Structure formats: structure tokens, C-alpha cells
A and B are shown apart, each in its own frame.
Chain A
């Protein structure tokens, strides 16, 4: 049995015939080829799969593709605007906020959401915001600094890079 699911992902509408049980993360990765979002744990613990569903971060390993029908999804591939990196992306580069890069897309999606709602978060707010996600490489310090960098450079494009963090 399959069903038709139509989802707007990063501004483009995609319609696919899928099994009702198909997870959103597999829909994005396997059906649409958007492999920037990762799968890491099955149990909503690691957050490698975080994407936005109607402008809220969700763990797409525990959302069915069917639940996204008629709704809007934003993934890491949708962070860049007109060839310019989002300040969050630039911040992760500037502050060495990533190592293996596997958790990074999910972390950045949460960070973008945080900054949209709290443009100048302090360290505690940032740690709280990403506390549902796991990074095995960075010990979180540089992720916090990356988000702070993005807050400071909210209006600036990648040309306005600060000095090395």
C-alpha cells in the first residue's frame, strides 16, 4: 500500500507515492536525495536528523513522511540564500564548530531557529537549545561559540568574516 505525499522542501514542492510508514528522514534522503540531514539513532536522542517542519525543528527520524503532507520542510540544503552562507553556517566554519560534520546540519537547523526567536542568546540559552542533540567530536564549546558568532554577524554576509576564533 502506498499513499501520495506532497511536501514543500526548501521552497520546492515534491510529490511522491510512498509507504505510510516511511520516515521523513528517509523520504528526504532516499526519495529526494537530500542527504545533508543524517540518521543517527532511531530514538530521537541524537538530533542528527533535525529539520524544520513548518518552521519548527523536529527530529525527522520520528516523523512520518505522511505527517509532512501539505507542510513545509526546511533542511540544511535550504540554509544558504542566493549563494551566500547563512551566518550560522559561516559561524560553524569560523569557530571550528564541527569536526566529522555528521551532527552539524541538525545543530545548525536548531541554531537558526534559536536565533530567529532569540537574536542574542547567551551561552546557557544556546546550551539549552541544543541539549536534545549529541555531538561526539567538539565537546560543544565551539558549537556554542559558532552560534554566538552567528548572532554577532546576523546581518553580515561571508565577506565580513571576523578574525580566527
Chain B
């Protein structure tokens, strides 16, 4: 019983792969119901225009059209506007104006996909174009066109001001500092672009009054509550099913107008209605990410001791404030911009504005904007190294927090739970062969070759979060689980979080297995169906393992204690005299006298006489309210070669050392890191949703919005350190977004390092060939640089 590999944690092939490799997954667009109709959305060609009229007569006359829904149709039912996750309102279908190119104007329900699209062409909308706000930096100009005249008393495009840290103390440190550096930088608008676009199948049963909706949702319970709030349907009459999800990355957290339209379409027609957006609709209208205009400053001593960081941000939120983030944090967790360093002071001020662009801002594996925070501070550290002529690795090592400082309260009040930062960076440097790389770079530069070495050190803050600090629309961010132990000893775990590829069916079974000594094969994980699982806020912000994973361990421990009572009755000893060891309770001092979980489970369902007040069975539930966030961290090193003739960047190597605490399934952890590193190459070098001066979206297809392929990605070199979280039940921290957060600055720092012979200190992402080429034009090339 005590020999052999532990049943729980460790590399383990995924259960879910059996269906996926056979093409037997069930994604939303795979759902086929009898009599199902298809919806399509008519979208605005204008970024800002008044709607004068919407003529649907011709569309309604199309022989295959069953319904045409306009803003007016919805307004009659008080459904034309819906609440966003930031408690703003967003038009479901526009009634008064359109406020971004691609905004939803009308919805057609037809017998098939193609006819629904055909009928869109038959709708005649008369627009009066209005001047648009495209440049966020001009959004607050006096006389800027007013976007949100629907909001009572609104006279400008301002959404919020938010600050963190101590402005006065930071100013004092800056005033006294020997060295200050300043850099403006844009984290451009990008898009999570999961390969499966967003969509839904809504099926309203007119007899029972029950709505079943299959939807691409990362947060099925939150969706259920929102559908109830928006539509007025009672929540117990709504069942949200998130089947297999083809990637999410934050894109599938919000509710979108198309989902509401599908629901209304089903109510109106009495038939199930499927709506799947196409790729352009996905890129142009659903939750984008970033769009942060940052003005960063560092204060330091001449020998490179970083003393303070200060940043001003203008955040472009688009036409509706639709970001998904805890209520108290309008700029997400950007407050962690103090990074991984021991500072005397810090201050940030963020202003959010409306523009005539698609709504969003928090998405794309960003950990509630820690992506932007890490980019800011890691770029600033390199700018400081540039100005002081210091090696960026040495500069970081001289300023990183030391292990003895944990738990560490940073200058903006976040309490980092645990870490050994220098160890992680030194490991990454060893893996990279850092000194040799610098020597190679030195000789390459003498030959006129542009080779760059970029470093990034990141601290993440994930697992939102403690209920007293964190809620979304008033809903606390605790998650429930339910664990059933069947009489024969196998188990069913019901969780609120939603895999989009993370492998929950495997890893959550491993948590139960680890805690109860069962085989993971004997634990079925149920998720993605609100009728079958307890309430919780879903999967984003790398919160599944820190929150629901913790809940799973806690519920398994409850089961274990219940099993102890049953075992004590079976063995006729006092529960206090029992000891637990990997799947069985045994009598202390007499290991042969014991009962396995399977034996106990059978007895718990039998006629065995149990102590007074013990009702039998082993099932348990748990709600986990995390006491703090967890703080994964990592050290990344990227090596690039840049062609000065074309500006093309080739990523030669990428070394990533991650510390996400205890790893449940290292194979899956490494896969998560791989994906995030590719994201970083995409964002740093290729991805960007730009707009022309007239507000036309220039990133509306995969022809224009470029994602990395296998040719842009190197073979990743991964390393790890393990610093358990002290407050998580089994010491895990979460890892889903670490690499997406940490890798973009490593790539950008590498490219800028490569361009050092041209004296380039900064260039904004995406560092496309054109962008790099522009950065070096007119600059003399120096080949006599010393090794830094």
C-alpha cells in the first residue's frame, strides 16, 4: 500500500485528449438541435454615427428569415442595453447611435447560416456620420466629440481616475535622486484571438420557461447571473452549458450582444437559435486587450540602486467600459507595477477614457493588467541600464527582492506571499550561458551583426481573490466545489471553473487523488454546466488552481475527516487514535489495522452503526475564500538576431524559468508556459489592432492581425524553481498567464539590446520589420561598444 508512485501529483497524460484526438470534442458550433435556426449580426460600418432609420422590410420578406430583431425590438422589452462587467451599460443593438466600427445594429434569425447572412444585406440602415474619437490622447480635449451621450449628465469621454501609492513621498524621492529616467511607451491594442470564435446556442422552452444556453464562456455561473439580470428571466430557469471551449485567454469572460440576441431570437421564434461570429467579428467587436499609453519614470542612484517608480497611464477602454475586473480596481491589478524590486516609493495614476473603438481592455491572459505593469517596469529597468551603461542582469540582481523579505508588502500595498527571486534569475542566466552570450554579442557587434539579449523578471499576482477586497459586479470571488464519493470508492468532483484547454479534467482529478489516495482515473471531474456544478466566478486571471484547486483540496480534506469517523466505527477505536497515510486510515502503532478509502466508502453507505450525529456517506461541499492572492514569478531571457537591412527579428533562443509554487502536473504546467511564450513573441513582434484616422479597424482578419506560427517560435528552454505559496492548501500559485505576462518585455528588451549599436533606447510594440527599420534610420552604427 505504501510503495509505488504517489497517486496524485506528477506528469500524467490528459484524460480529455482521448476525445479531442478523435475529433469528438463538443464545441458550441458542434451543437445541433432539432429545428435549430441560425442568427447573424448586422454591424456598423461607421465608428460613430447617428442612426436615422433601420428598414427591415426586405429582410423580413426573405423566404428563409424567421425574425429580424433591431434595437427598437429590444427597447420594447427593455433589452436594448445591458450591464457590463464594469457596471457600465453597453448597447445590445444600437438604438440611438453606433459608437464603434463593428457595433451590433440588427440581428437576423433564419433557417440556415447562409440565408441569415444574405438577409443582412437586405437591411437598410440610414446613418448620419459623426466625428469620431480615435486617438485616446485626444479623447479629453475640450470639444472632443461626446461618445456617451446616452449616460445622463455626461459631458466628456472620461471614465475614471485611479491612483495607487504615495504621490508626495514618490515626488520627494525623485527630487532627491541622483539619476532619473523617463520613457513614454504604448502597450498596443491586441486581441486574445482564440481559434474558436465566440458564439451561443440558445434554446428557450416556452412550456417550462427554461432557457438552456450553450455558450463560449470562461465563467458559466457569472454568465447565468448576468443573463438573469439582463433578460429578467429567473436565474433558476437558466442553465448555462460551456461545453469544450476552443481557447479563451480572457476573450470569453464578458457577455456579448450576440448571446443576448440569440436568447431573444429563441424566445421570439420558439426554436433554438445558434449564433457564431466570424473571425472579423471576433477581432473587431469582442474584448480587446491592453491599449495602455504609459509615461514611466524611475529614480535611482548613480551606481544603479533603484529607488522609486512613477507612472501615468491613459487607458483606452473603447466605447463601453466592458472590462472584466474586480470592482475596486478600475485599472485591474496594474498597481503591482512596482515589479520585483525593493523600492522606497511608488506612485501611479491611471485615467480611463472612452473612444470610438470596440469595448474591452482586460483580456489576453493579462492577469488583470499585470501584463502592462510588468512591461512598464521591465522596460524602465532596461532604460535605466541603457543610461547608466550597466548590464541589465546585474542591475536586476542588485535590486531584486531578497528571500528574507517575504512576505513583502510592496509600495502600493500588495503582499507578495513568497519568493526567491535571485535564485530564479541566476538559474536562467546559467541555462542561457549569459556571460558567453555577452561575449558572443561583443564579437558579433564588431562584425556589424545585430544580436540582442533581453531579460525580464516578473512578479504575477493571481488567484482573485479575497472576498473582502475583490468582487465583480458585487459578486465575491470565492469558488464552490462539491465532492461525491460513491459506495465503491470512485469519486465525482464538481467544480465551478471552466477549462479552455488547461486540462482541468486531469489536474483536478489529480488534486483529489493526492488528497485521498485514489487513482486520478477514479475521479470524474464535472464542469461547464451550471445545473450540475456549484457557483463560482470562473476561469481567468490564472485563478483556477489558486482558488478552485484550493477548494478541491479543502473539500477532499473534509471527506477525509468524515472517512476518519467511519473508519473509527469500523475499527472500533477512537478517531483520535487513527493516522492517515495515502488512501487509508490506520490505528496508530498498529499499521496492519486500517481501512482504505474504498473500504470506508462502502461502509459509509452501509448499515454500519455510526456515532451519534454522524449521518453516513462521505460527500462534502466547500467554498474557498482565498486569504490572499498568490504571487508566481519568473526570469526570462530572450536572444534575438536582427537584420539591419530589413528590420526582421528572429528569435534564436528563449529561456524561461518559472516558479509557480508546487506543480500538480508538470507536463501541463510546461504546456501552459509554452503557449504564453508564443503569445509574447506575437505581441512583441507581430500583433496589433490599429485604426486609421477615420476609425477603420486595420486588424480585422488574420490577414492583418498576425499571429506567430511554428516558424516564428524557437524551441523553448524551460527551467523551474519551486517556492510554495504559504497560504495555499498545497502550495500552488497558478501559472496560466505567467508566460504571457513575462515574455513580451524579454523580447522587446532583446530587440532594443540588439539595436544598441544604433543608440536606440526604445521602440513601441509590435516590433515589426517596418517598426525596427524605422527605429534605426538616420542613426550612425557604432561597432566599438564595450561588453556591458
Contact = CB atoms under 8 A, between A and B. Distances in A.
A101 B678 contact: no
A42 B675 contact: no
Interface string B279-306: 1100000000000000000000000000
Contacts of B244: 100-101
Given A36-B22, A43-B702, A75-B23, A100 B710 contact: no
Contacts of B503: 99
Contacts of A134: 195, 702, 707, 709
A57 interface: no
Given A101-B20, A140-B678, A42 B278 contact: yes
A143 interface: yes
A41 interface: yes
A41 B23 contact: no
B702 A100 contact: no
B279 A100 contact: no
Contact of A43 (B17, B676, B703): B703
Contacts of B19: 101
B53 interface: no
A60 interface: no
Interface centre among A76, A126, A131, A137 (most CB of B within 10 A): A137
A19 B118 CA distance: 13
Interface string A123-165: 1001110111111111111111000000000000000000011
Chain B interface size, as a band, is 35 or more
Q: What is the predominant secondary structure among interface residues of chain A facing chain B? A: loop
Interface in B22-52: 22-27, 29-30, 32
Nearest to A100: B501
A10 to B, nearest CB: 11
| Most B C-beta atoms less than 10 A away, residue of A43, A46, A126, A139 | A139
Interface in B192-248: 193-197, 244-247
Nearest to B668: A96
Given A42-B280, A102-B247, A142 B671 contact: yes
B327 interface: no
B501 to A, nearest CB: 3
Contacts of A108: 21
A15 to B, nearest CB: 19
Given A35-B23, A136-B675, A164-B11, A101 B701 contact: no
A42 B279 contact: yes
A95 to B, nearest CB: 9
A43 B701 contact: yes
Interface string A69-101: 000000111011000010001101110101111
Given A46-B195, A131-B710, 8 more contacts: A21-B114, A35-B23, A43-B701, A102-B27, A127-B710, A139-B673, A140-B678, A164-B13
9 contacts: A37-B23, A43-B701, A89-B21, A90-B21, A93-B17, A104-B21, A134-B195, A139-B675, A164-B12
Interface of B: 11-14, 16-27, 29-30, 32, 112-114, 193-197, 244-247, 249, 278-280, 500-503, 667-668, 670-679, 701-703, 707, 709-711, 713, 715-716
